[in-house]
Amino acid sequence: MILLTKRVGISYLLNLVCFKPWIQLDFKWLCNQGSLIDVRDKSSECSGGAFGAEFRRFSLERSKPGKFEEFYGLLQHVHKIPNVDVLVGYTDVHGDLLPINNDDNYHKAVSTANPLLRIFIQRKEDADYSAFGTDTVTRKKNVLTNVLRPDNHKKKPHIVISMPQDFRPVSSIIDVDILPETHRRVRLYKYGTDKPLGFYIRDGSSVRVTPHGLEKVPGIFISRLVPGGLAQSTGLLAVNDEVLEVNGIEVSGKSLDQVTDMMIANSRNLIITVRPANQRNNVVRNSRNSGSSGQSTESSLPSSTPNILANFLQGEEESDEEDIIIEDSGEPQQIPKAAPTSLESLTQIDLLHEPTQNGFLPSSEVNLNHSACNVSMEYEVQNPDRKSLEEDGTIITL
Amino acid sequence: MMKFRFRRQGAEPHRERLRHDLFAFSKTVEHGFPSQPSALAYDPRLRVMAIGTKAGAVKLYGAPGVELTGLHKETATVTQLHFLAGQGWLLSLLDDNSLHLWEIYQKEGCSHLEETRSFGLPARPGSGAVCSPSITRVTVILPMSSGTVACLGTEGGAVYFLALPALVLLEDKTLFQDEILQSVPDDYRCGKALGPVESIQEHPQDAGRLLIGYSRGLVALWDQSTRTVQHLFLGNQQLESLAWEHSGKNIVSSHSDGGYMVWAVGGSGQRTQQPITAVIPYGACDPSAFPHSNPFVIFSGGMPRASYGDRHCVSVLQGRILATLEFTSRVIDFFTVQDPEVPEGGFENPRALVVLVEEELVVIDLQTPGWPTIPAPYLAPLHSSAITCSYHISNVPLKLWERIVSAGEQQSPRLSSAVSAWPINGGKNLAQEPTQRGLLLTGHEDGTVRFWDASGVSLKPLYKLGTANIFQTDCEHNDSLNQAGEEEWPPFRKVGCFDPYSDDPRLGIQKITLCKYTSKMVVAGTAGQVLVMELNDDKSEHAVSVATVDLLQDREGFTWKGHDRLAPRNGPIAFAPGFQPSVLVQCVPPAAVTAITLHSEWNLVAFGTSHGFGLFDYHRRNPVLARCTLHPNDSLAMEGPLSRVKSLKKSLRQSFRRIRKSRVSGKKRLNAGSPSSKVQEANAQLAEQAGPPEVEMTPVQRRIEPRSADDSLSGVVRCLYFADTFLRDAAHHGPTMWAGTNSGSVFAYALEVPSQEKFSERAVEAVLGKEIQLMHRAPVVAIAVLDGRGNPLPEPYEVSRDLAKAPDMQGSHSMLISSEEQFKVFTLPKVSAKTKFKLTAHEGCRVRKVALVSLASTAAEERVENCLACLTNLGDIHIFTVPALRPQVHYSCIRKEDISGIASCVFTKHGQGFYLISPSEFERFSLSARNVTEPLCCLEVSRLQDTSSVTPKVQQANGTHVPHSSGISIPPHGSPGSPEERQATFSPGSVDSPNSSMENPLDTTGDITVEEVKDFLASSEEVERNMRNASEDEVRPAGIFIK
């Protein structure tokens, strides 16, 4: 397999774009050469050092990518920058620029190379963190215009918040269209991060509007957010938010311990519906008058909502946690399902059933388009566990 | 697939009917000894006894299998119980000073116990607000021999008369203290009141005369008809109790100074100053001072407080023979059982002495020299040492059963004769003979394993196995100490078996498994000991071979900080007939064994602790495999049980908080209806009341965090399983071993087991086949392999002995893994998920116990379904189909606060189960509509008067009453032919039902024979001591009892 690495300073994305045809030509040529190790150094080791881009090509064995550390050392070696801290990135199949900073995403990057892996290296101090993420490639045009208009680009120094530990979404607000404005359905993506979920819940009482007037009913509330935790970093959950549902199941009538167990059981793909204590930041829908009272929608929460959510969830759930099986070959692998399930077919079926039905899902015609995304995420999920098993050093290879 | 889903929806009504035939939940019977007994009564005519508890329960026991239970609406201590002899009425007094009348009534041929009315004594008329309520507090109850009147003595000194069974106060008959005081000489009176009524006794021959004793010591003989004091006995000692001698010539009074006095009732004069004799039996006196005569004197207490104040004693004195029976818990009450005929000389001939102490019931045979104890066929003190685990075996082969019974008989020879010698034998057991033999094994803290006959309604002890003698423990048997006791005065004799003190907590039994075909048993304990035992009909003396298995496997950086392993005794050890250990395997580190399994065909035993698991070949006596499951970051696993005390405390505190929480929020109470569940609730309420006043805490918070690989104790092995299945490829099946851990890992090993003939030559080998990591990381609580037809694999030897169908080895096998959060079925050998049910994510409850049970339909016996029964941390039982994992039904069974109850639950193979409702009682429940074990009994009562006018409940016996919601009233679901059979057995019983007595009203007095009166007198004498022991902690009163 052939890798092409490129060291580039932020200001010279322009160069990247310019050189692109050349690179691809070069690929072709390299491909013809088979697995020959060919390192092309196109560096223009300018005296300033700041304005330059250099290219290297070399090959790696796909089946044995090795460790990230080794790879990093290799990059530093081939670029002759042994003591410079760099950020390593690559472009995935969707053209997104994604970082490589640990074994997992390194392996992932290697496995997605088709057959070429484009690696980008940036010096850490002048790195542009915003360059990572989705749609980086399509955004390049904007980047280009930015570059072309130097006054715009110039000296809006980037505030470095943190290293981009992960390029996956960590949280989202979902189902905005079907929920009352006073409610918020938050999805926390725990996988792939080492961050704790980081929140606590407690018992409490809330006031409900009922036909008999205002009534005090027991409820479950968020009592504490752990600083630096996932819940806090999303900004979507706050202390004293009332928890209404966990993954589509209403919590009313359930004890604190039951809700705790439900949340932990769903912790890898936790969807909680809350009524925020602070109602000022609610999403205001265009279709609605801003004057409409949020409270009035409270009791009219459509009964179909959990149903739809449940359907959606089941499809998600199926993929969110697949057990790992280590066969006697010693190769960890995911436990496959009898047949992959498409989200669409699921929704169709489940609309005809109660949402609380057994989680068993029928296999049906495969709609790979839809599940493709899920599958790629699954592998990401597996990695930490595989790692821990390997650390154990107890896997016996037969 | 999609079609399949639709069809399932359509098939629901049919399935609904099937469910109805398969599943039914009922709590059927309580086994063991009632928790916190507080009162005792005996009906000599019905030959049944009643025990009242602090939770307000009333339990009647007669012949084995005859059991009735009732519960007061109020959760209050039952302080007194009195039978109206022979009439099937029972009077109870609660500590809220209310009287309740219970009736034994017939319905559908079976007897039931129900409260019919209650009564509270009104405040004394006239004095109204002035007097304190304690004035009318009932201290003594005496139901008169006529059966129509009961006398109530009160704290204020007045005696009230109550018409029975209407519980109407006969106001004109009330006897106030003033009337007695008129005839008391002034110098005795000293201007003081006489104090509360301490005792009322009816004259044995003349029912019109009552002996009334007051607390200060005055005893008066009162003639009801003339309303005059006939005689006064001017006692100077604080009175504790009174008793008539059978002839009516003498009375005996007992006093707080530890003595008793005998007084003559002879006619001379109206007052007696001095007793005939005054004896302080345990004073500084010589045993030879006792008069040589035949009567039995039985009394409780009487010990010199300074030296023996802490002992619980009942003394039995006959002539020169004195036995001081010493119990390990407080004496509640006692009574004697006698033969109906009274021999010459005027004294009854007591057959047996029945003593109820707080933790057990002890029966002494008074007719056999040496007064041995009679083992009880029920009310077994399950908790004689705390129960640490339990195990149930159903369908025990007759051969094994007989061998266990004979081992038990050799252990205590009287056990077999117990049923015939058992003196309390009233009533008829109508339950059918159990169709199969069920064995319940309980492991105890002191290292014993007890075998119980759990086939029927009464749980009978069969055999007791001790494991302590294999080890060197700190406390060697203190036999020598007991021998020295022979010389001691008073002659203490230890009776009963309640001994909650364990010599060494490491001896505690954690896991038991038994192969019913080969009689091999494996018992594992707290210090990592695993004992392989064999049943031997002869006694033997041999050395036990010892092996150690290192489960840490040279893992670096771990030091065990817990207890040491038990040191095995060297050299040959003598073993009595029964289960004898052959091999002892000790785990290193010696943490408690958390899982064991046995495969007697392969001669293998697998065991797991919090550190790993091991496989041992007990035929060749060598270890096959050891595997460490510890996570490198797990430090807690090495601490041992001792340092976990703190966290235990914490969790206890949390559970207390949860209890309070649930009370505050007023959550629904579980499963009202069946009387036994009410008993439980009442017990729980009592426990809550008894708890210390709670301090307000900060609001409880719960952390939401997914389980991570390095959670503490993630390496605990939770389950082990042997199966002959396809692990490596779909063409060849073979022996496999499976292990599941706390962190959601499953390890599967392929085993190379040599054929039977080559066991001695070739060693067993184990190779790792698969490792499965469940992503949700919840503890794996059970693993089972299902054959091609979806049935669980049979037990070893079951097929070869034609006791089970051979498993389908053609179709593909599947594996059911149950974690605390979800159930999953995987295909084999290629492990891919087939079905799953996420219990926690949907219901918010966690799996605590799970078992594969086969339930037979009531509609057709051959229709049997294998189901997964699951008990959750909320105390609910859920049933799922296998392997489709579709939820079928769920029932609430145990209160969620009852953590020990949930932890103690065991399921049987055929859909019954047991759990502890108190340290001493198992509740038996049934999930099957067909397989139900419940008490069905009949007590023949003869009412003295027609009660239909006053007792609305009588109508229930006519069948017009809506069926009682309790499990007891449901007819048994036996074989299809049984209803007719039962009808036949019931018909004679119905002659004596209240229904028929209505048609042939008995004359109130005409039918009473002299014998009956005598019987009744005996019972009324017993009755008066009931209160005595209530405040025994301070004063140790001497109840006197002369026969």
Residues A126, A128, A129, CA angle at the centre, nearest 5°? Answer: 125
A262:B832 CB<8 A: no
Token pair, residue B863, equals 């229709």
The residues pairing with A225 across neighbouring beta strands, listed in sequence order, are A199
The confidence score (pLDDT) of residue B11 equals 52
Alpha carbon of A215: minimum distance to chain B alpha carbons (Å)? 14
In terms of average pLDDT, the best of A79-88, A369-378, B251-260, B451-460 is B451-460
The answer to whether B929 touches B857, Cβ cutoff 8 Å, is yes
For residue B880, the chain A residue with the least C-alpha distance is A358
End-to-end CA separation in angstroms for chain B: 81
A263:B885 CB<8 A: no
**Would you call A394 an interface residue with chain B, using a CB distance cutoff of 8 Å?**
yes
Residue B711, pLDDT > 80, answer no
The residues pairing with B352 across neighbouring beta strands, listed in sequence order, are B337, B365
Query: For residue A349, which residues of chain B lie inside 8 Å, CB to CB?
Result: 2, 5
The answer to whether B700 touches B653, Cβ cutoff 8 Å, is no
What's the number of CA atoms in the CB half-sphere (13 Å) around residue A378?
Answer: 21
Residue in this structure with the two tokens 């695993």, named with its chain if needed: B530
Higher pLDDT, B302 or A81: A81
Alpha carbon of A325: minimum distance to chain B alpha carbons (Å)? 4
Residue in B701, B771, B833 closest to A326 by CB: B771
Which residue type does B256 have?
S
Query: For residue B707, which residues of chain A lie inside 8 Å, CB to CB?
Result: 264, 267
- If you average pLDDT over residues B589-599, what whole number do you get? 94
For residue B829, the chain A residue with the least C-alpha distance is A327
**Would you call A265 an interface residue with chain B, using a CB distance cutoff of 8 Å?**
yes
Query: How many C-beta neighbours within 10 Å does residue B895 have?
Result: 22
- ipTM, two decimals: 0.72
B837:A359 CB<8 A: yes
Weakest-pLDDT range from A37-51, B872-886, B1021-1035:
A37-51
Query: For residue A189, which residues of chain B lie inside 8 Å, CB to CB?
Result: none
Token pair, residue B983, equals 């009808």
Rounded Cα distance, B596 and B513, in Å? 7
How does pLDDT run across B920-963, given as a tens digit for each residue? 899 999 999 888 888 888 888 777 554 443 333 333 333 333 33
**Would you call A260 an interface residue with chain B, using a CB distance cutoff of 8 Å?**
yes
Query: Which CA distances in Å does B592 have to B474, B491, B508, B719?
Result: 19, 42, 9, 14
- If you average pLDDT over residues B571-585, what whole number do you get? 93
A360:B843 CB<8 A: no
Mutate to test the interface with A, among B625, B659, B668, B702 (most CBs of A within 10 A): B702
Query: How many C-beta neighbours within 10 Å does residue B286 have?
Result: 7
Query: How many C-beta neighbours within 10 Å does residue B864 have?
Result: 15
A360:B885 CB<8 A: yes
Which of left, alpha, beta for A248 (phi over 0: left; psi -120 to 50: alpha)? left
Q: Quick check: helix, strand or coil at residue A337? A: strand
CA-based nearest residue to B634, from B617, B612, B656: B612
Token pair, residue B9, equals 């929806």
The confidence score (pLDDT) of residue B317 equals 75
Q: What percent of chain B has pLDDT over 90?
A: 30
The size of the A-B interface in CB pairs under 8 A is: 178
Give the pLDDT band of residue B306 (cuts 50, 70, 90): low
How does pLDDT run across B93-126, given as a tens digit for each residue? 998 888 999 998 888 888 888 888 888 877 655 4
Alpha carbon of A338: minimum distance to chain B alpha carbons (Å)? 6
A261:B845 CB<8 A: yes
The answer to whether B667 touches A253, Cβ cutoff 8 Å, is no
The confidence score (pLDDT) of residue B393 equals 94
| DSSP line for A105-124 | HHHHHHHH-SSEEEEEEEES
The confidence score (pLDDT) of residue B287 equals 34
For B307-357, where are the E strands, in sequence order? Answer: 312-318, 321-327, 331-338, 350-357
The answer to whether A90 touches A119, Cβ cutoff 8 Å, is yes
Token pair, residue A276, equals 């925020």
How does pLDDT run across B965-1006, given as a tens digit for each residue? 333 333 333 333 333 333 333 333 333 333 333 333 333 333
The confidence score (pLDDT) of residue B728 equals 86
A389:B836 CB<8 A: no
Higher pLDDT, B746 or B661: B746
Q: Quick check: helix, strand or coil at residue B288? A: helix
Residue in B4, B827, B837 closest to A362 by CB: B4
pTM over 0.95: no
Supply the DSSP symbol for A282. P
Weakest-pLDDT range from A66-70, B200-204, B349-353, B986-990:
B986-990
The confidence score (pLDDT) of residue B295 equals 61
**Would you call A194 an interface residue with chain B, using a CB distance cutoff of 8 Å?**
no
Rounded Cα distance, B93 and B209, in Å? 24
Residue B716's contacts (CB-CB under 8 Å, 6 or more residues apart) are: B594, B608, B609, B610, B629, B637, B741, B742, B779
Residue in this structure with the two tokens 């790992």, named with its chain if needed: A324
The confidence score (pLDDT) of residue B942 equals 75
Query: How many C-beta neighbours within 10 Å does residue A355 have?
Result: 18
A residues 152-191 near B, CB within 8 Å? 190
Residue in B703, B709, B838 closest to A388 by CB: B709
Q: What is the mean pLDDT of chain B?
A: 77
Weakest-pLDDT range from A157-161, B653-657, B810-814:
A157-161
- For strand B545-550 and strand B578-588, is the pairing parallel, antiparallel, or unpaired? parallel
Alpha carbon of A202: minimum distance to chain B alpha carbons (Å)? 5
The answer to whether A242 touches A250, Cβ cutoff 8 Å, is no
The answer to whether A193 touches A380, Cβ cutoff 8 Å, is no
Weakest-pLDDT range from A196-200, A266-270, B571-575, B808-812:
B808-812
Give the pLDDT band of residue B893 (cuts 50, 70, 90): very high
Higher pLDDT, B831 or A303: B831
CA-based nearest residue to B117, from B148, B55, B50, B72: B72
Token pair, residue A351, equals 């609309």
B886:A395 CB<8 A: no
Query: For residue A263, which residues of chain B lie inside 8 Å, CB to CB?
Result: 704
Query: For residue B829, which residues of chain A lie inside 8 Å, CB to CB?
Result: none
Higher pLDDT, B544 or A59: B544
Residue B863, pLDDT > 80, answer yes
**Would you call A239 an interface residue with chain B, using a CB distance cutoff of 8 Å?**
no
Rounded Cα distance, B300 and B716, in Å? 51
Weakest-pLDDT range from A14-18, A192-196, B259-263, B852-856:
A14-18
CA of residue B350 relative to chain centroid, distance: 28
Rounded Cα distance, A199 and A239, in Å? 9
| DSSP line for B799-850 | TTTTSSPPP--SSPPEEEEEESSEEEEEESSS--EEEEEEHHHHHS--EEEE
> Which ranges in B72-159 belong to alpha helices (H)?
none
A residues 325-344 near B, CB within 8 Å? 325-328, 335-338
What's the number of CA atoms in the CB half-sphere (13 Å) around residue A266?
Answer: 28
Weakest-pLDDT range from B25-29, B186-190, B214-218, B639-643:
B639-643
**Would you call A268 an interface residue with chain B, using a CB distance cutoff of 8 Å?**
yes
Token pair, residue B13, equals 């009504």
The answer to whether B194 touches B214, Cβ cutoff 8 Å, is yes
In terms of average pLDDT, the best of A114-118, B350-354, B686-690 is B350-354
The residues pairing with B29 across neighbouring beta strands, listed in sequence order, are B924
Give the pLDDT band of residue B274 (cuts 50, 70, 90): confident
Token pair, residue B886, equals 């579709």
- If you average pLDDT over residues B997-1021, what whole number do you get? 41
Query: For residue A327, which residues of chain B lie inside 8 Å, CB to CB?
Result: 770
Alpha carbon of B765: minimum distance to chain A alpha carbons (Å)? 14
Q: Quick check: helix, strand or coil at residue A30? A: helix
The residues pairing with B1006 across neighbouring beta strands, listed in sequence order, are none
Query: For residue A203, which residues of chain B lie inside 8 Å, CB to CB?
Result: 661, 699-700
The confidence score (pLDDT) of residue B861 equals 76
The answer to whether B706 touches B777, Cβ cutoff 8 Å, is yes
Residue B644, pLDDT > 80, answer no
Query: How many C-beta neighbours within 10 Å does residue B859 have?
Result: 14
Rounded Cα distance, B135 and B17, in Å? 61
For residue A221, the chain B residue with the least C-alpha distance is B701
Token pair, residue B1013, equals 């009166």
| DSSP line for A124-192 | STT--GGGSBTTHHHHHHHHHHHHHSHHHHTT-PPP--------S--EEEE-TTTS-TT-EEEEEE-TT
Which residue type does B921 have?
E
Residue in A254, A381, A398 closest to B844 by CB: A254
With the C-alpha atoms ordered B417, B418, B423, B425, is the resulting torsion angle positive or negative?
Answer: negative
Query: For residue A381, which residues of chain B lie inside 8 Å, CB to CB?
Result: 775
Rounded Cα distance, B511 and B594, in Å? 7
Residues B672, B676, B680, CA angle at the centre, nearest 5°? Answer: 80
Query: For residue B773, which residues of chain A lie inside 8 Å, CB to CB?
Result: 323-326, 385, 389
Query: For residue A385, which residues of chain B lie inside 8 Å, CB to CB?
Result: 709, 773, 775
Query: How many C-beta neighbours within 10 Å does residue B446 have?
Result: 23
How does pLDDT run across B134-161, given as a tens digit for each residue? 778 888 898 888 878 888 888 888 888 8
The confidence score (pLDDT) of residue B399 equals 93
**Would you call A256 an interface residue with chain B, using a CB distance cutoff of 8 Å?**
yes
For residue A324, the chain B residue with the least C-alpha distance is B773
Mutate to test the interface with A, among B704, B775, B897 (most CBs of A within 10 A): B704
Give the pLDDT band of residue B442 (cuts 50, 70, 90): very high
Rounded Cα distance, B481 and B495, in Å? 16
Rounded Cα distance, A346 and A318, in Å? 11
Residue B781, pLDDT > 90, answer yes
pLDDT tens-place values along chain A, 398 residues long:
444 444 433 322 222 322 332 333 233 233 333 333 333 333 333 333 334 566 777 777 777 778 888 888 888 887 777 777 777 888 777 777 788 888 888 888 887 776 777 787 777 765 555 555 544 444 444 444 444 444 444 445 555 555 554 456 677 888 888 888 888 999 888 765 677 888 999 998 888 887 888 888 899 999 999 888 888 888 889 999 999 999 989 998 899 999 999 998 888 888 999 999 888 777 665 544 443 333 333 333 343 333 334 334 443 444 445 778 877 655 555 555 444 333 333 333 333 333 333 333 333 333 333 333 332 233 233 333 333 333 333 333 23
Q: What percent of chain B has pLDDT over 70?
A: 74
The answer to whether B709 touches B744, Cβ cutoff 8 Å, is no
Q: Quick check: helix, strand or coil at residue B89? A: strand
Query: For residue A201, which residues of chain B lie inside 8 Å, CB to CB?
Result: 701-702, 704
Residue B693, pLDDT > 80, answer no
Supply the DSSP symbol for B667. P
